[in-house]
Amino acid sequence: MTVQEFVNKKAKQLCFYLRAFWHGELPIEEVELFFWDSMEEWGQIEYTFTQPYTPKERVFWHLLHQVHYWPEDKLAHDTYLIEELTNCVLFLEGKGHCPFDCVGIRP
């Protein structure tokens, strides 16, 4: 699997998990499991450090980090954070513009 294939697959899943969490359909523990499963799968991907990032990959890593970093209460109720993350989700789903402040990098 290439970096692009990984990002495309995982971005779609990440958006699904985050939306389900926001709708109260998925506990935060499942989102955390998704994070750790993604990290494990990432370890299987071969890439070089000179391989360029796409905007989608940068937004994906940024969003994945944010979901892991913030506590459940903030992810669920902080209006500003939810708006920021929603912009990322919309971009990953092909429905929005690339957020300017996403600086996601590969682990």
| Residue 13 included in any domain | yes
Question: pLDDT of 65-103, one tens digit each?
Answer: 999 999 999 999 999 999 999 999 999 999 999 998 888
By the 10 Å C-beta count (0-12 exposed, 13-18 middle, 19+ buried), 81 is classed as: middle
In a domain, 27, yes or no: yes
DSSP assignment of 17-64 equals HHHHHHTTSS-HHHHHHHHHHHHHHHTT----TTSPPPHHHHHHHHHH
Q: Is residue 11 a part of any domain in this protein? A: yes
pLDDT at 23: 97
Within a domain: 47: no
- Give me the number of domains the chain comprises: 1
pTM (whole model) above 0.85: yes
What's the Rg (C-alpha) of the chain? 13
Using pLDDT thresholds of 50, 70 and 90, give the confidence band for residue 12: very high
pLDDT of 40 above 90: yes
Which residues constitute the domain of residue 28?
A: 3-42+52-92
Query: Mapping DSSP to helix (H, G, I), strand (E, B) and coil, where does residue 105 land?
Result: coil
Task: Decide if 107 is inside a domain.
Answer: no
